[in-house]
Structure 1
């Protein structure tokens, strides 16, 4: 970490920072933002609607500590680097179900097609969360919650049209009945798109289209005064044309389908004990026609028992037991492999006067190795009246994927990747503004990577990542603002690559938005974003140029739950690439009408 980063952070720490009444659910027990010791960012429904974004990647790409790269925009292959960690190290959870694809190379979550229709809240939990979520959560968790069935009765619709023939319609509703409360959502998007291969590199590039159909349903019913049964289902079907990074391709196409579902039973046994039993299913089916036709299918069934004990206002204990079985096709549809995992964990939150403490441990036994133990500890303390200090330390692990184990390049002798994480946050409140500075340090060892010498996957890599995240939020009568900064040092310390910078992680990233509410029904927001230089890959010496973008957002309320929204993206028509060889949209617009049905 360079001296200028440290000096900048120390100077910034003298800035100043009213408390939030935000509920965090990502730690599997509801608690207020002030009570949690973890480093978490919460994006509520109001912010989602104001963002005018329709997919998860666009929503989170401007958040500090997150870097999003897409191979051509509009539903194309997308990578997420949370605090510089590999994309497969971050777990996405939707309504309590892990949204990963066990047949993919890294076995991680697929970010490309997550539509935001009917989504109520997104929580970004940073640092290793392996204690509660096991493998795949070594860098953190993105927890997505759809609308609560017990909310206000509503039926909402939206239609939009934008550049590149981008058409979208959505519908969401929720209702509380005598016996059943439910919420549902349905959205469809069809866009002609841009050329995935950068059209500036070729004459008459083909447009690579995309369509997405997403449906979700959630219902709860009370069987008696002591128990509750919940059902959740979410399904997506998407089709996307794509290109290679070296050429425009006319026949490359991918068809993806994924369905997740869960049945959740909660029983209030006593005043302090409320056990929860959850059964979930995740099926993904991906067909790709590029060099050759390939189809990958995975099915994951999981049973989890959670036992929260609320012993007092000051002490909560959570223990859980999990069993997971995966079946996936690797390489060909006939090459089916099974994978099993059993785990138990204990997690505790305590508050002693002003000091909040958090500690947890997890034991995991998987079919590819004997067992793994990970832990996490954290503390929070108001050092002054409006100054909070949070500190966390944890270990994590990432199991080898089925592809890394059983494909033609697989290695059944692989062991899990290991991590050690640490972060320290200072939060300062003053009047209606909030300042937060976080230092983080993550070390990854035994990383699984492809070895060209042995022509198979090996535990051959390691990385040391550290940096600073700065967030500043504030508001006045007519204005509100958000500022985010990420300063990153992501170093490859593998043998023979010591000191090399990990690809596609910018050393600096700055985001700012300024909102104006000068009129009662009119709102405008201007967004600024800067992404610094970054190396393209481990296999070339290409350095991608930095870029600066400006977006404009406007909204006008016609009535209750009736508004018109207009967005201009890349206002100054900047030319840039997130990944070498792939195109990005120039200046573009989108017009949306949201209405009450």
Structure 2
């Protein structure tokens, strides 16, 4: 497959620095990387983490297994690969993984993750499971954590209801952090870019005694004044002042028992959504004209304890976790300063969750493997929102304030099991099921003065589902894997707390059914890995946003969709110096049934056969990495990431379209045994693209993607 022609973009009209120094650095990076990419040097092996294609181990099936032997579509990126590609968040991660698209804008409040075209609606619950070291993060407002001291990130595509339960009907993101051991280690990295953004990352680990108690600690800090200007208030916009930390105490109780105790903390503070009218932002991507200063602040605290027992015949693991999250968010929703047109919002949220996971698994018999478990979850969410509206410029009345208080209590209980049975030496049957029960309770006090109504409602709803999975895999004599599978996903119903319908403030569950065929192989003397998957997904009783004739937005089960496509992922370890990572996906995802009122025109429309939003049809990434010997114990690093994002829509009506675009990232650096210096540029072509576009009847608003950014990272490790 070849990439479409890379256009040379027109210069963005902006006040971003275009100094001779910046241009010179960009030229040096580009030509150096191109030179490295055409000059194969012979080098001694350097002290750097290498990916062994024969032993890429993942825990996506709730056990450790070789990724080439897992009968499902799984991607894995390792810590060194994240560092080389300057990946700091899941938004960066989505550029490197096929079929993964993160719909995010503004600060760190909203991370809506789409896999294979399936994702959440506006301010609804996630459609993926998100886990860090086995701990479930149950709210998409806390997905955008800082990626520091990561062992690997695993992405499971397709419904994962059997092992992961509800809210995983499109897939799972599983983050595994590095664990402390008997080796002392210290790592530090400081990054700085042309927009005066500074990022510090530290990680250290050390044994606390001779052989059984180890401590790991990591911290990150990010400060930026923002590269955007609020020209109406004559202030900088886009500031970030973020800090996060994680401590991990690992205790080898005896030869068979291991305990881990983790505490993590985040404090993210910054400006709110950098949105404005579409044509205005396209003309000046570095400017907004807000008359209201919004904020996006988040505090998060988590505690977890993991007990792992290595039994004689059965292994046991217990994961207990508690998380607390608080968010203060306000925004200029009208994105301007027009007299008689004002819409601002302010929301304070609190979220607490507790989860308990017990799992037992067999060992010692390769022909028959079983896993079973019990899971319990409970969370409480409280939200206080104030909306101020003045639409008098459009003849829709003067200033009105709306207030709402919502409280939600969610709980879940589940029992699950999965069996792998070798029918022959080459054929394995995998089957499993999960009995998943959830209960949703809510209290709503909504004072819609703009509509002259007050809604007060309390109630509870219960849901019970059986989530099956079955797969058949065939291991060829060359150890290639061919598999076919079916799995079911599910997202519970609940209470519409955004703009609930007074007569029907609830909605029902939605379901996904995934059919998949796959092929995995190691080729060329195990230097080339190849993973290919074709899928077909039916999404039924889809939870979508509906606009009623009285301009009320509700969540309702009014949609039915299909998504089908193909994914290809390959690693090629050319030699000790060179490696290549290529991934691509093609997705045809469409509504089959969806009738609603258009948010912009207030007219009824049939969206059947329209493309699902936030789903690029074609996406691809080609990463080339070179590490070669420079002599004097120095190593040259050159990295090129070429990212192609196909055209996609932001709305169900398919009226707001993002054309295809490229993101070209380049890095060049010098590395020694205990230090390194990297120069890098992101979005080297300085392409314009929209992160998001909205239209609620007053014109299209958008937030621009990040501009070309040149930076430097220096680091040390010993």
Distance 1:494 1:169, change over 3 A: same
Pairs within 5 Å for 1:47-126: 47-71=81-105, 75=108, 77-87=110-120, 88-101=126-139, 108=140, 110-112=142-144, 114-126=145-157
Pairs within 5 Å for 1:257-268: 257-268=299-310
Q: Any stretches of 5+ residues in structure 1 without a counterpart?
A: 1-17, 102-107
State how far apart, in whole Å, the 2-side matches of 1:527 and 1:564 are.
Answer: 18
Matched, 1:219 2:249: yes
**Match of residue 467 from structure 2:** 374
Distance 1:337 1:576, change over 3 A: closer
**Could you list the per-position Cα deviations for residues 171-196 of structure 1 after superposition, in whole angstroms to 9, with x for gaps in the alignment?**
11112233421211001001222339
**Match of residue 717 from structure 2:** 596
Q: Secondary structure at the match of 1:165?
A: coil
Distance 1:163 1:307, change over 3 A: same
State how far apart, in whole Å, the 2-side matches of 1:387 and 1:196 are.
Answer: 55
Matched, 1:208 2:246: no
C-alpha displacement of 1:100: 2.6
CA contact (8 A) 2:494 2:506 kept: no
Q: Secondary structure at the match of 1:275?
A: strand
C-alpha displacement of 1:429: 2.9
**Match of residue 10 from structure 1:** none
**Match of residue 22 from structure 1:** 56
**Match of residue 150 from structure 1:** 181
C-alpha displacement of 1:592: 0.8
Q: Which runs of 4+ in 1 moved over 6 A?
A: 202-205
C-alpha displacement of 1:452: 2.0
Matched, 1:532 2:633: no
C-alpha displacement of 1:540: 6.4
Q: Secondary structure at the match of 2:92?
A: helix
Report the number of matched residues: 566
**Could you list the per-position Cα deviations for residues 247-293 of structure 1 after superposition, in whole angstroms to 9, with x for gaps in the alignment?**
6435011111222221122334x411222222211211111122232
Distance 1:338 1:196, change over 3 A: farther
1:575 to 680, 685, 688: 688
**Could you list the per-position Cα deviations for residues 537-566 of structure 1 after superposition, in whole angstroms to 9, with x for gaps in the alignment?**
136612222112221112311223x11122
Q: Secondary structure at the match of 1:100?
A: coil
TM-score, normalised relative to structure 1? 0.89
State how far apart, in whole Å, the 1-side matches of 2:205 and 2:135 are.
Answer: 21
**Could you list the per-position Cα deviations for residues 378-411 of structure 1 after superposition, in whole angstroms to 9, with x for gaps in the alignment?**
2332335153212221001011355x36874585
CA contact (8 A) 1:574 1:586 kept: yes
CA contact (8 A) 1:324 1:340 kept: yes
Q: Secondary structure at the match of 1:115?
A: coil
TM-score, normalised relative to structure 2? 0.74
Matched, 1:566 2:676: no
Q: CA RMSD in A?
A: 2.5
Q: Secondary structure at the match of 2:689?
A: coil
**Match of residue 14 from structure 1:** none
State how far apart, in whole Å, the 2-side matches of 1:27 and 1:224 are.
Answer: 26
Distance 1:578 1:164, change over 3 A: same
CA contact (8 A) 1:118 1:184 kept: no
Pairs within 5 Å for 1:124-273: 124-150=155-181, 152-178=183-209, 179-195=212-228, 206-241=236-271, 242-246=273-277, 248-249=289-290, 250-268=292-310, 270-273=311-314
Q: Secondary structure at the match of 1:57?
A: helix
**Match of residue 582 from structure 2:** 483
**Match of residue 543 from structure 2:** 448
1:472 to 570, 577, 582: 570
Matched, 1:424 2:458: no
Distance 1:337 1:506, change over 3 A: closer
C-alpha displacement of 1:76: 6.8
C-alpha displacement of 1:169: 1.0
Task: Please say which of residues 122-131 and 177-186 is displaced more in the overlay.
Answer: 177-186
**Match of residue 15 from structure 1:** none
**Could you list the per-position Cα deviations for residues 452-500 of structure 1 after superposition, in whole angstroms to 9, with x for gaps in the alignment?**
2384322111211111112232132343222222111110122332101
Matched, 1:546 2:660: yes
**Could you list the per-position Cα deviations for residues 72-97 of structure 1 after superposition, in whole angstroms to 9, with x for gaps in the alignment?**
5x747443211111042112101111
**Match of residue 283 from structure 1:** 324
Q: Any stretches of 5+ residues in structure 2 without a counterpart?
A: 1-51, 121-125, 278-287, 332-343, 386-403, 440-460, 596-606, 694-701
Q: Which protein shows a greater Rg?
A: 2
CA contact (8 A) 2:437 2:463 kept: yes
CA contact (8 A) 1:99 1:260 kept: no
**Match of residue 482 from structure 2:** 389
State how far apart, in whole Å, the 2-side matches of 1:334 and 1:175 are.
Answer: 47
Task: Please say which of residues 163-172 and 378-387 is displaced more in the overlay.
Answer: 378-387
State how far apart, in whole Å, the 2-side matches of 1:559 and 1:235 are.
Answer: 31
Distance 1:363 1:160, change over 3 A: same
C-alpha displacement of 1:341: 1.4
State how far apart, in whole Å, the 2-side matches of 1:254 and 1:471 are.
Answer: 36
C-alpha displacement of 1:334: 5.7
CA contact (8 A) 1:99 1:109 kept: no
